A and B are shown apart, each in its own frame.
Chain A
Amino acid sequence: MPKLHVQTSVNGDTLDFLCEPAETLLDVLRNRLNLTGSKEGCATGDCGACSVLLNDRLVASCLVLAAEVDDQRVLTVEGVARGDALHPVQQQLLEHAGLQCGICTPGIVVAAKSLLDHNPNPTETEVRFWLAGNLCRCTGYDKIIRAVLDAAATMRDDRSRVSA
């Protein structure tokens, strides 16, 4: 079967790759583009470790065909920080010790960023339901939830400081 030629944007870089028709976005990110930050915990859409944003929408990259991202925009965990500046979710996860083994962390970072993009002032329950697709076996979620709530608070503070 001939390979497909896909042109896309990943973390702001315009790039192209060849892939098999059946190859998933996760496989291409990890195996062809060397972006191994997205993890495979299940390959069936149940763990969230492979979470990425596709045109600003949160998706499980193990359930997206690589060919589907032609001419689209992909953001992976590697693109969440801006230069030296961590995203507040990343910073708060560090401050709160919201990771133990860290294998779920890339997916949590992407999913939580996406939540705060949509909803700058989520309740604890909203955070818990938004992150319900991201399994973490180590932390019991407590410190992750606190980190995301604090990240939301710092982002609101920053915004009000800017607007003031």
Chain B
Amino acid sequence: MSGEQRFKYVGTRPIRHDGLDKVTGRANYGADFTLPGLLHGHIVRSPHAHARILAIDTSAAAGMPGVMAVITGDDIPKTTARLMMGEGGFDLGDMGDNLLAHDKVLYQGHAVAAVAATSPELARAAAEAVAVHYEVLTPVMTIDQALAAGAPILHDGLTTKGQPAAGVPTSPTNVAMRMELKRGDVDKGFAESDIVVERTFTTPMVHQGYIEPHACVARHGEDGQIVVWTSTQGHFNVRDCSAGILGIDAAKIKVIPSEIGGGFGGKIPVYLEPVAIALSRKAHRPVKLVMSREDVFRASGPTSGTKVRMKLGAKQDGTLVAASASLYYEAGAYKGSPAGAGAMCAIAAYRIPNFFIEAYDIVVNRPKVAAYRAPGSPSSTFATESLIDEIARRLNMDALDLRLKNAATEGDQAPYGPKFGPIGLREVLAAAKAHPHWTAPLGANQGRGVAVGFWFNAGMNSSATVSVNTDGSATVVAGNPDIGGTRVAQALMVSEELGVPVERVRPSVADTDSIGFSDLTGGSRVCYATGMAVIEAARDAREQLKARAAKMWGTDAAHVGWDDGTAIPLNGAGDRTPLTVNEIAAKLAHTGGPVIGRATVNPPMAGPGFGLNICDLEVDKETGVSRVVRYTCIQDVGKAIHPSYVEGQMQGGASQGIGWALNEEYIYDREGHLENPGFLDYRMPVASDLPMIDTVLVEVPNPLHPYGVRGVGEVPIVPPLAAVANAMRDATGVRFTDLPLSPPRVLEALATD
């Protein structure tokens, strides 16, 4: 199918429609919005990692000049409601307790109260005047501490869901979930293996690191109607979470998304909006809440720190025969780490007949984790791809050949259940073999690593409309915040269907009142699922235009064809002169009125994606400092709508992964205080840390999408952890199993080696 498709607009690289506003500073982000009478909110946060709240005295704060409202957990109802999303969902009780703690604080920075005042300074002063009395408890900061016998328990009511381990009490516990994936006979598989490799790997808790802190404005009207302006990955999600947590109708809330300054999964949960609504309700004035960078680090995001014990067995010829793994993922303060996804992704790239994987979701006194690009996959893949590298070395096999020998392909049953449709892993590996980087000579103190990565990608719900204007230009409206160029991609799809040049298509992101329900911008789903809705809406508009052409010709719509923006007569329509979109559009008022194409979709599945990274690392053995000197990303993208933005996803994901591998980590002291909640000490890659990042787009069309699109946003962060560590192994001879590969750690390992 799609392999045969020819495109006129799709695959070109026009300038994005929203670009000018962004290079001139005109684009409005979360913190840029204001209203007359605006109040400024400030959140009171816990100094303790684990404590019981004995009392909160807000009277002094409430009596201060300019203070219009003070709220606590009492203003956020306790709920047991859940909000479904795709296969999973949100526990609104946990989310509400995370917004403003009810009984206990579960991490340093946990919100306990909020104030609204006439200026940010007054709000801050009032927040300091809120007196909170705590009974400080012993914090549980690590997986080992959480699992230890007699460990302090975070949640009294927590029980282990899923498939609890035999012989271990399911309550009281800090294990929120355990799951298993298995196939074949794993013991027999290892017995038949010629070589077996086994190690334990750890990855640190890291933050998504978006540059824009969370920010919103909420206005609660006298009639109970609520408007929220916010920076979010999903404004429908903000609406429904706020409604569910506060116990009000979704129809009472309108959420208007601002431009969004990065999210990577971290702007999916609500942290501020329901609090701003509750403050506004009490103060009868609009309220703005903006997080500081320190708040962002302490109380939003991050993704799980992990420990993965993994074992792989292979035949002498490189055939993988058995795998076993135990995955432990920190959930932070509330259940919900991506341990399950980590398990499902861990060996998805390979055919392994015998495996047993168990995964644990473990609560600790750290911020509740949020999604971070392919959540769960990078950490388990780090283990797998490090061990695959080790097998290649032990067998003296080319690292790509070993992967090719075992690579999953169409028809193989994925470890998590379904059979793979057409997937591009082999094509990606072949592209790596053919790439000059793979065979380029290395310099002194340099090493090369390679790794692959997998992510499912998501489908879910999307809505779109396409309107044709009387001058023949078009408007496309969808419900997904544009976090990296999706508007221009949607305009390209409309151009492709209607034949209207892309600069004559206006793409726009609508608020919750102005477009049908749309799930969030995440799961690499916007170009795929929302794209599907846009294409269907454009096709709907095109059919209507054909019907109008038929009317103008006095013939039947069945006799009208379409070719690149022109209605053409088919057999039966005689020798009518073709009509362009412009000509049909000019007559809309006389042929039946406006034309609006619309579509809603909810694809249950998406085409999974595979990527591969090649990393050259140079290591200074005197200082332990390492530098990426060359980097190549290869990925099956299905079909690139706007290739520049697809490349950008690959380059951005790679650099986040490089940061995770080399520098980034949450550092806590023994009391559970975060020691590096700022960009100076939480060291993300800067321009001078990185080389150019080469990209190769492999296009194996996804049959589930009309153009063959696969999600591309998440796969890029999966391979880098192991690609960098494998390069470190190549450069130094040392196998590193604990990230980040910071200079002190590298020096220490080189000294003891």
Question: Which residue numbers of A lie inside 8 Å of B, CB to CB?
Answer: 20, 30, 35-44, 46-47, 49, 76-78, 80-81, 86, 90, 93-97, 99-106, 109, 124-125, 127-129, 131-146
- Is B211 in contact with A137, judged by CB distance below 8 angstroms? yes
B692 contacts partner chain A, Cβ-Cβ < 8 Å: yes
The distance in angstroms between the C-alpha atoms of A103 and B23, with both chains bound, is 10
Q: Which of B262, B647, B654, B656 contacts A103 (CB 8 A)?
A: B262
A36-B29, A77-B24, A137-B262 given; name 6 further pairs at CB < 8 Å.
A39-B29, A42-B293, A100-B648, A103-B212, A106-B23, A135-B211
- Is A140 in contact with B693, judged by CB distance below 8 angstroms? yes
The distance in angstroms between the C-alpha atoms of A73 and B208, with both chains bound, is 36
- Is A94 in contact with B652, judged by CB distance below 8 angstroms? no
Q: Which of B293, B684, B685, B687 has the most CB of A within 10 A?
A: B687
Q: Give the residue name and chain of the B residue nearest to A42 (CB).
A: B293
- Is A100 in contact with B23, judged by CB distance below 8 angstroms? no
- Is A132 in contact with B686, judged by CB distance below 8 angstroms? yes
**Known contacts A105-B22, A145-B692: does B687 contact A132 (CB below 8 Å)?**
yes
Stretch at the interface among B11-19, B58-66, B382-390: B11-19
- Is A100 in contact with B645, judged by CB distance below 8 angstroms? yes
Q: Give the residue name and chain of the A residue nearest to B261 (CB).
A: A103
Q: Which of A20, A41, A99, A134 contacts B687 (CB 8 A)?
A: A134
**In the complex, what's the smallest C-beta–C-beta distance from A17 to chain B, in angstroms?**
16
Return chain B residues, CB-CB under 8 Å to A99. Answer: 19, 22-23
The distance in angstroms between the C-alpha atoms of A137 and B654, with both chains bound, is 11
Q: Give the residue name and chain of the A residue nearest to B28 (CB).
A: A36
Return chain B residues, CB-CB under 8 Å to A131. Answer: 686-688
**In the complex, what's the smallest C-beta–C-beta distance from A127 to chain B, in angstroms?**
7
**Known contacts A40-B31, A96-B644, A97-B648: does B678 contact A102 (CB below 8 Å)?**
no
The distance in angstroms between the C-alpha atoms of A44 and B264, with both chains bound, is 23
Q: Give the residue name and chain of the A residue nearest to B32 (CB).
A: A36
- Is B688 in contact with A94, judged by CB distance below 8 angstroms? no
Q: Which of A81, A135, A138 contacts B648 (CB 8 A)?
A: A138
Return chain A residues, CB-CB under 8 Å to B649. Answer: 100
The distance in angstroms between the C-alpha atoms of A109 and B485, with both chains bound, is 19
Return chain A residues, CB-CB under 8 Å to B134. Answer: none
What's the dominant secondary structure at chain B's contact region? loop
Return chain A residues, CB-CB under 8 Å to B485. Answer: 97, 100
**Known contacts A103-B29, A104-B211, A138-B484: does B687 contact A43 (CB below 8 Å)?**
no
The distance in angstroms between the C-alpha atoms of A142 and B647, with both chains bound, is 10
Return chain A residues, CB-CB under 8 Å to B18. Answer: 102
Q: Give the residue name and chain of the A residue nearest to B208 (CB).
A: A137
- Is B678 in contact with A101, judged by CB distance below 8 angstroms? no
The distance in angstroms between the C-alpha atoms of A100 and B262, with both chains bound, is 8
Return chain B residues, CB-CB under 8 Å to A37. Answer: 24-26
Q: Which of B26, B645, B679 has the most CB of A within 10 A?
A: B679
- Is B690 in contact with A140, judged by CB distance below 8 angstroms? yes
Q: Which of A43, A44, A86, A125 contacts B23 (CB 8 A)?
A: A86
**In the complex, what's the smallest C-beta–C-beta distance from A31 to chain B, in angstroms?**
8
Q: Which of A77, A101, A140 contacts B25 (CB 8 A)?
A: A77
Q: Give the residue name and chain of the A residue nearest to B483 (CB).
A: A101
The distance in angstroms between the C-alpha atoms of A104 and B689, with both chains bound, is 17
Q: Which of B23, B27, B262, B642 has the most CB of A within 10 A?
A: B23
8 Å CB contacts to A: which residues of B1-59?
13, 15-16, 18-20, 22-29, 31-32
Q: Which of B213, B678, B686, B693 has the most CB of A within 10 A?
A: B686
Residue contacts A-B, CB under 8 angstroms, 20 given: A37-B25, A37-B26, A39-B31, A39-B211, A40-B213, A97-B647, A99-B22, A100-B485, A100-B645, A103-B212, A105-B22, A125-B688, A127-B687, A128-B688, A131-B687, A132-B688, A140-B690, A143-B644, A143-B651, A144-B687
- Is A90 in contact with B24, judged by CB distance below 8 angstroms? yes
Return chain A residues, CB-CB under 8 Å to B259. Answer: 101-103
- Is B25 in contact with A78, judged by CB distance below 8 angstroms? yes
B445 contacts partner chain A, Cβ-Cβ < 8 Å: no
8 Å CB contacts to A: which residues of B665-700?
678-680, 684-690, 692-693
Question: Which residue numbers of B lie inside 8 Å of A, CB to CB?
Answer: 13, 15-16, 18-20, 22-29, 31-32, 121, 208-213, 259-264, 292-293, 483-485, 642, 644-645, 647-649, 651-656, 678-680, 684-690, 692-693
**In the complex, what's the smallest C-beta–C-beta distance from B690 to chain A, in angstroms?**
6
**In the complex, what's the smallest C-beta–C-beta distance from B408 to chain A, in angstroms?**
28
Return chain B residues, CB-CB under 8 Å to A43. Answer: 292-293
**In the complex, what's the smallest C-beta–C-beta distance from A99 to chain B, in angstroms?**
6
Q: Which of B28, B264, B647, B692 has the most CB of A within 10 A?
A: B692
Return chain A residues, CB-CB under 8 Å to B262. Answer: 100-101, 103, 137-138
- Is A94 in contact with B31, judged by CB distance below 8 angstroms? no
The distance in angstroms between the C-alpha atoms of A76 and B26, with both chains bound, is 12
Return chain A residues, CB-CB under 8 Å to B213. Answer: 40-41
The distance in angstroms between the C-alpha atoms of A93 and B210, with both chains bound, is 20
Return chain A residues, CB-CB under 8 Å to B690. Answer: 128, 140-142
- Is B679 in contact with A47, judged by CB distance below 8 angstroms? yes
Q: Which of A96, A125, A138 has the most CB of B within 10 A?
A: A138
- Is A41 in contact with B293, judged by CB distance below 8 angstroms? yes
The distance in angstroms between the C-alpha atoms of A76 and B31, with both chains bound, is 18
Return chain B residues, CB-CB under 8 Å to A42. Answer: 293, 678-679
Q: Which 6 A-B pairs have CB atoms at the shortest separation, nearest pair first? A: A37-B25, A103-B261, A140-B651, A140-B655, A102-B22, A97-B644
Q: Which of B25, B208, B645, B687 contacts A106 (CB 8 A)?
A: B25
**Known contacts A100-B485, A101-B210: does B688 contact A90 (CB below 8 Å)?**
no
Q: Give the residue name and chain of the B residue nearest to A130 (CB).
A: B687
**In the complex, what's the smallest C-beta–C-beta distance from B521 to chain A, in angstroms?**
11
Q: Give the residue name and chain of the B residue nearest to A78 (CB).
A: B25
The distance in angstroms between the C-alpha atoms of A142 and B26, with both chains bound, is 24
Q: Give the residue name and chain of the B residue nearest to A124 (CB).
A: B692
- Is A137 in contact with B645, judged by CB distance below 8 angstroms? no
Return chain B residues, CB-CB under 8 Å to A44. Answer: 293, 678-680
Return chain B residues, CB-CB under 8 Å to A104. Answer: 211, 261
Return chain A residues, CB-CB under 8 Å to B653. Answer: 140
Q: Which of B212, B213, B483, B678 has the most CB of A within 10 A?
A: B212
- Is B648 in contact with A143, judged by CB distance below 8 angstroms? yes
Return chain B residues, CB-CB under 8 Å to A46. Answer: 678-680
The distance in angstroms between the C-alpha atoms of A81 and B483, with both chains bound, is 24
The distance in angstroms between the C-alpha atoms of A125 and B692, with both chains bound, is 11
**In the complex, what's the smallest C-beta–C-beta distance from A126 to chain B, in angstroms?**
10
**Known contacts A94-B20, A100-B645: does B28 contact A137 (CB below 8 Å)?**
no
**Known contacts A47-B679, A97-B644: does B687 contact A145 (CB below 8 Å)?**
yes
Return chain B residues, CB-CB under 8 Å to A97. Answer: 13, 16, 485, 642, 644-645, 647-648
**In the complex, what's the smallest C-beta–C-beta distance from A106 to chain B, in angstroms?**
5
Return chain A residues, CB-CB under 8 Å to B260. Answer: 101
The distance in angstroms between the C-alpha atoms of A80 and B209, with both chains bound, is 28
- Is A41 in contact with B648, judged by CB distance below 8 angstroms? no
Q: Give the residue name and chain of the A residue nearest to B22 (CB).
A: A102
- Is B211 in contact with A103, judged by CB distance below 8 angstroms? yes
